[in-house]
Amino acid sequence: MTKEILIILTTFGLLALLGVTEFILHRKRLAKIPIRIHVNGTRGKTSVTRLIAAGLREAGIRCVAKTTGTVPRFILPNGREVPVYRPGGANIIEQKQAVTMAAAQRAEALVVECMALQPQLQWLSEAKLIRATHGVITNARPDHLDVMGPTEEDVARALAATVPSDGVFLTAEKKHRSFLQQVAEDRRSRFRAAQDLTRPITNFDMQAFPYLEHEENVQLALAVCEELGVDAETALRGMWRAKPDPGAMIEASIEFFGRRLVFVNGFAANDPISTKYIWEQSLERHRDLKRRIAVFNCRADRADRSEQLAESYAHWVQADEVVLLGTGQYIFARAAVKSGLDPTRLVFVDRSHPADIFEILLGLAESSALVMGLGNIAGPGLALAEYFANRGTDHARV
């Protein structure tokens, strides 16, 4: 045996030993965390992760959470947030960091938002990295069809990869509920629908949130808390005080030299079903405003999503102006016009600074306007949302 071959074999042997050692250590860390909650779904994952963690903290359960929403965060047992360090970009292996942190913090519970899209990686995330005691799927909607599609049913099948074995599975999904329930039964997990609460949610409960939260998200988070012995009143107190994700649906009103702009941050809801819902809800809530302005932030590297949203928007209640931001403006415009949108409503913006965009919106607003942020939150979307949030004088509650 040559010296070179011996070196190669020794190297591979050491790497294999390190891999086995790390696997054993990871399993030991998991064993130190009695409650492990894996949150997946099309929309609302980040919100539900934050809500569950807040409810558990309020009940005195030592909890660590990790979100992968607008700005990825670790949430510590005292509620303090620290950024997720990503030197090489997003990678599901960082879920191990969450387990390591939770074990180091002596956490009783770990709440992790699933960050995988590929069905195989979703399975890997659950079966090898998290091994949840409680699995959560918010919903299954037509999004990321290039990865999980091409149909909505395929999306449901992909998400089902994170249904735990021998645990508890909870979901707010209705259309594909029977399929998900069957998957849970096949994996010997107890199934629970989010609506099966011992204490129903009231209008007062929703009005107490300082931002626009979806009732389905609250229902699902409360169901998880109930499973863990936390009563609704205690859990809700924590949820009301919890810091929302930067992409949360916050309303801000700005009065500017006799003109009033009401901005609704809907950037994070970028699938057609969710986006249409919040658009219609906002129109209904602000019928007193003179103008309706839809601001779509589009990414060239999300062309399929821009086209899908544009084709859907062409058949909604129309805005007076459709303002396009980002690198994928013309992708959205072509698809929308092809689907029947009046091209004269389109306003192309080649600027990214929020102050410049605000001036353009102000010029379109006349005396008053509803300005709705839609599409993708990355880049100018987040900057515009923060611009309004920091200057708004009236943050609405539902």
Same CATH topology for 23-241 and 251-395: the answer is no
Give the pLDDT confidence score for residue 61 in this predicted structure. Answer: 98
How much is the pLDDT for 398? 36
Pull the structure tokens for residue 181: 């329930």
Which amino acid appears at position 226 of this protein? E
Q: 275: which 2 tokens?
A: 């986006």
CATH number for the domain formed by residue range(s) 251-395: 3.90.190.20
**Amino acid sitting at position 293:** I
Q: Which amino acid is at 327?
A: T
Most confident of 60-74, 176-190, 372-386: 176-190
Reply yes or no on whether the pLDDT at 397 is more than 60. no
Q: What span, in angstroms and rounded, lies between the C-alpha atoms of 116 and 124?
A: 9
Question: In the structure, what pLDDT confidence band is assigned to residue 270 with cuts at 50, 70 and 90?
Answer: low
Ordered strands of the 394-395 beta sheet = 346-348, 321-326, 291-298, 368-375, 259-265, 251-256, 394-395
Query: At which residue do the structure tokens 């942020």 appear?
Result: 373
Q: What does R_g of the chain's alpha carbons equal in angstroms? A: 23
**Residue with structure tokens 């611009």?**
387
Provide mean pLDDT across the span 202-216.
89
The pLDDT-based confidence of 240 (bands split at 50, 70, 90) is very high
Q: Which residue has the tokens 């708004």?
A: 392
**In what order do the strands lie in the sheet containing 109-113?**
81-83, 73-75, 63-67, 109-113, 35-40, 134-137, 168-171, 190-193
**CA pair distance 233, 31, nearest whole angstrom:** 30
Selection from 189, 247, 197, 248 nearest residue 219 by Cα:
197
Q: Give me the residue spans of the domains in the chain.
A: 23-241, 251-395
What's the pLDDT tens digit per position in 59-117? 999 999 999 877 889 999 999 999 888 776 778 888 998 999 999 999 999 999 999 99
Average pLDDT over residues 240-248: 85
Pair type for strands 109-113 and 81-83: unpaired
Enumerate residues 6+ apart whose C-beta is below 8 A from 2: none
Mean pLDDT over all residues of the chain? 91
In the chain, DSSP finds a helix count (H) and a strand count (E) of: 15, 15
CATH 3.40.1190.10 fits 23-241, yes or no: yes
Which residue has 């200057």 as its token pair? Answer: 391
pLDDT, residue 82, reads: 92
